[in-house]
């Protein structure tokens, strides 16, 4: 028995990271799977007649130890991985996939679940219990419980293969990101780069015993170079390196993996009686059908495209006037957009960064959460961390009661994948009369402090931090009975509402004045800069919208059809992007082969949900603005009906309880400046 197979005797039952050895994981998983199997067998073979408590609730509480180990292990595989952990992930994923199939294809167990489900109308269940019962029944039917034996076996094989392919996909992208370096030794090659970015690149070079500057594909290195570097040929080189991840016909190539994943997902959907993978996925979403998603995306496309074309024309003219550029390319996009933005609004990130010291922004997010939801955050050093960079907090309410443990991991490193995300190490639930509080984490990749400067965030990084913190609040404030519908366990096109709505506070004077102070002088951000932030908020919104829509349409093009006839990833993608293209295609680049959201993460057939949730968030924030952005009544309603309810009820019903009406897309178009 490893330390992972015992309940943790630690403060707040937190994970004992420093005591876990990598070699513990495999045996810990095996032991936990056996325990979970025994729990399942006990439910399936129970002599008593099936009822909600002994079957549905028992099933939801089962496998707690296994879930806990999985959370710890797979979170580390994203945030602090190494070859050994990746190897274990490849071994463990099929075991977990197999175990999950053992449950859904267990006939005795399904018989009991079905009996409770069929008696539903006579059971007098709460809304939450009804939702859980539906979810459990669908968990079986949507995963093959009603299939004949031979098809069940086929489903098992598909799931096992998919779990391995998705891991392989992610490993290839991480390896590609880590192996590329652009080593620069001539001062002219870093011309235009802000001092902070240059210093960071110099420090990185020094850490590898090199002279000059080192630029990598990690966002804090990549984004500043693409935005500010004057050297066009080097921007091109970096952009192409970024765009060809998984698309180089070598040992890290993802083209066949993409084709295989799309094909297997389609076969799986067909096996279960669905037309396509998207039809299968969307049955459990607010959007309901691929047709609805496609018409939603196309409706926004129609509204955004004229604005996007105008913006692109303006950018083309600007680049031509400034530097005689005849044909704008993708590697010109960030650079000239930034220059144009500076010209139009007299605003650039370098002006803003001194006001956004990371520690101040974090405290700002905490203050906003305190004013809205009555939360207090206290940094504590008594709990274990998986890396020295991680910060740990105890979160309490106004009565001093524990709400959550919160981990924050802000800087890039070799074992961490790119991007930003929220996750949890322990879910909230009410068990045996005890409200077990969650352990929530956010992971980002912000610029590290240098010898001369603290970590100063771009405005985009500020909104990213607030975004992930919004997800974290959804996890922290969870207050449901059953773990599988707690916190962020909601429909995927609803999950982005708490995160996206919180970004709105970054644009408001009343909120900015709480935390945007100059890191050297302590001066509060000047009003004129706040005005410029607001004025520039809709800058290139048409082009940004087009870009987001293109990703959603690409996702649907892989998952909303029979992909059997697709044999070339690149040409399929070019066709999918057809209506949204502004820039010329780059032949040696491909988006799909590194589109981790849909081929590794959980966003397949769901990428549209960012835009869908934007409609919700714009509508929700209009309500806050009408009543005051720190209005207690509105905040309480948001906490009660959105943040604490998890997936206990249909999200549209929860939204209407909060807002008093269905969301209107006009709010989004108004905010984006796309309503003429």
pLDDT tens-digit readout, 331-367:
999 999 999 999 999 988 889 999 999 999 999 999 9
Model confidence at 169: pLDDT above 80: yes
pLDDT in tens, 576-600: 999 999 999 999 999 999 999 999 9
Is the model more confident about 131 or about 534? 131
How far, in Å, CA of 436 to CA of 429, rounded?
5
- Burial grade of 302 (CB within 10 A; 0-12, 13-18, 19 or more): exposed
Model confidence at 432: pLDDT above 70: yes
User: Which residues, in sequence order, are bridge partners of residue 423?
Assistant: 441
pLDDT in tens, 217-244: 999 899 999 999 999 999 999 999 999 9
Model confidence at 676: pLDDT above 70: no
DSSP 537-582: TTTTHHHHHHHHHHHHHHHHHHHSS-GGG---HHHHHHHHTGGG--
pLDDT score for 665? 82
Q: Is residue 386 very low, low, confident or very high in pLDDT (cuts 50, 70, 90)?
A: very high
Contacts of 404 (CB under 8 A, 6+ apart): 395, 428, 437, 438, 439, 440, 475, 476, 477
Contacts of 548 (CB under 8 A, 6+ apart): 610, 611
pLDDT score for 319? 98
How far, in Å, CA of 86 to CA of 67, rounded?
19
pLDDT in tens, 321-340: 999 999 999 999 999 999 99
How far, in Å, CA of 40 to CA of 85, rounded?
28
Model confidence at 208: pLDDT above 80: yes
What is the b/e burial string over 586-610, where b = at least 16 CB atoms within 10 angstroms of the residue's CB? eeebbbbbbbbbbbbbebbbbbbbb
pLDDT score for 511? 97
Mean pLDDT value of segment 481-494: 95
Model confidence at 675: pLDDT above 80: no
How far, in Å, CA of 422 to CA of 594, rounded?
20
Q: Is residue 44 very low, low, confident or very high in pLDDT (cuts 50, 70, 90)?
A: very high
Domains of the chain: 3-104+106-142 (1.20.1050.40), 180-243 (no CATH), 252-346+538-676 (1.10.1370.10), 354-491 (3.40.390.10)
pLDDT in tens, 602-660: 899 999 999 999 999 999 999 999 999 999 999 999 999 999 999 999 999 999 999 99
- Residues carrying an active site annotation: 468
User: Which residues, in sequence order, are bridge partners of residue 524?
Assistant: 517
Contact yes or no for 490/651 (Cβ under 8 A)? yes
What's the chain's average pLDDT? 95
- Burial grade of 557 (CB within 10 A; 0-12, 13-18, 19 or more): buried
* Phi, then psi, of 405 in degrees rounded to 5: -105, 140
Weakest-pLDDT range from 185-189, 247-251, 283-287: 283-287
């Amino acid at each position: 028995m490893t330390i992972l197979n015992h309940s943790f005797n630690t403060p707040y039952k937190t994970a004992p990271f420093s005591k876990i050895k990598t070699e513990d994981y495999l045996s810990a998983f095996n032991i936990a799977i056996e325990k979970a199997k025994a729990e399942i067998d006990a439910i399936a073979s129970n002599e008593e007649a099936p009822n909600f408590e002994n079957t549905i609730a028992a099933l939801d509480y089962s496998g707690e130890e296994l879930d806990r180990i999985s959370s710890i292990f797979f979170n580390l595989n994203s945030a602090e991985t190494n070859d050994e952990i990746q190897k274990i992930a490849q071994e463990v994923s099929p075991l977990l996939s197999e175990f999950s199939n053992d449950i859904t294809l267990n006939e005795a167990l399904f018989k009991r679940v079905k009996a409770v489900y069929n008696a539903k109308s006579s059971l007098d269940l709460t809304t939450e219990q009804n939702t859980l019962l539906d979810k459990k029944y669908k968990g079986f039917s949507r995963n093959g419980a009603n299939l004949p034996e031979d098809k069940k076996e086929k489903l098992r094989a598909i799931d096992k293969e998919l779990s391995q392919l998705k891991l392989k996909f992610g490993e290839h992208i991480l390896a590609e990101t880590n192996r590329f370096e652009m080593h620069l030794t001539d001062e002219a090659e870093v011309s235009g780069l802000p001092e902070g970015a240059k210093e960071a690149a110099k420090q990185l070079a020094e850490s590898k015993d090199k002279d000059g500057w080192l630029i990598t594909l990690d966002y804090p290195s990549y984004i500043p170079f693409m935005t500010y570097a004057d050297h066009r040929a080097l921007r091109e080189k970096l952009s192409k390196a970024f765009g060809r991840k998984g698309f180089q016909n070598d040992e890290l190539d993802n083209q066949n993996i993409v084709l295989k994943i799309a094909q297997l997902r389609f076969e799986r959907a067909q096996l279960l009686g669905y037309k396509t993978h998207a039809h299968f996925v969307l049955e459990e979403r607010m959007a309901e059908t691929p047709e609805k998603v496609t018409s939603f995306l196309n409706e926004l496309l129609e509204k955004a495209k004229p604005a996007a074309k105008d913006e692109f024309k303006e950018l083309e003219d600007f680049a031509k006037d400034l530097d005689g550029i005849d044909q704008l390319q993708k590697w010109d996009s960030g650079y000239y957009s930034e220059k144009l933005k500076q010209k139009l609004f007299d605003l650039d990130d370098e002006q803003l960064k001194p006001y956004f010291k990371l520690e101040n922004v974090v405290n700002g997010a905490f203050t906003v959460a305190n004013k809205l939801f009555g939360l207090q955050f206290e940094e504590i050093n008594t709990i274990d961390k998986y890396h020295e960079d991680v910060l740990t907090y105890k979160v309490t309410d106004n009565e001093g009661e524990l709400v959550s443990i919160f981990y924050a991991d802000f800087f890039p490193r070799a074992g961490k994948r790119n991007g930003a995300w929220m996750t949890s190490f322990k879910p909230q639930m009410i068990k045996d009369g005890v409200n077990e509080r969650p352990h929530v984490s956010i992971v980002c990749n912000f610029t590290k402090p240098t010898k001369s400067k603290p970590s100063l965030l771009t405005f985009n990084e500020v909104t990213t931090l607030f975004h992930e913190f919004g997800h974290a609040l959804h996890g922290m404030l969870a207050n449901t009975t059953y773990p599988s519908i707690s916190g962020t366990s909601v429909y995927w096109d609803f999950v982005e509402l708490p995160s996206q709505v919180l970004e709105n506070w970054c644009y408001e004077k009343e909120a900015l004045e709480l935390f945007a102070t100059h890191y050297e002088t302590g001066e509060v951000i000047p009003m004129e800069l706040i005005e410029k932030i607001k004025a520039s908020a809709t800058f290139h919104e048409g082009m940004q919208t087009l870009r987001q829509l293109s990703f959603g349409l690409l996702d649907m093009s892989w998952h909303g059809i029979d992909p059997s006839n697709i044999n070339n990833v690149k040409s399929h993608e070019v066709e999918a992007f057809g209506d949204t293209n502004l820039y010329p295609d780059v032949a040696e680049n491909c988006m799909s082969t590194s589109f981790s959201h849909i081929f590794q993460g959980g966003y397949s057939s769901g990428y549209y949900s960012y835009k869908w949730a934007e409609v919700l968030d714009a509508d929700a924030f209009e309500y806050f603005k009408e009543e005051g952005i720190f209005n207690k009544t509105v905040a309480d309603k948001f906490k009660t009906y959105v943040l604490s309810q998890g997936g206990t009820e249909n999200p549209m019903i929860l939204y209407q309880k909060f807002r008093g009406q269905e969301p209107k897309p006009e709010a989004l178009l108004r905010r984006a400046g796309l309503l003429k």
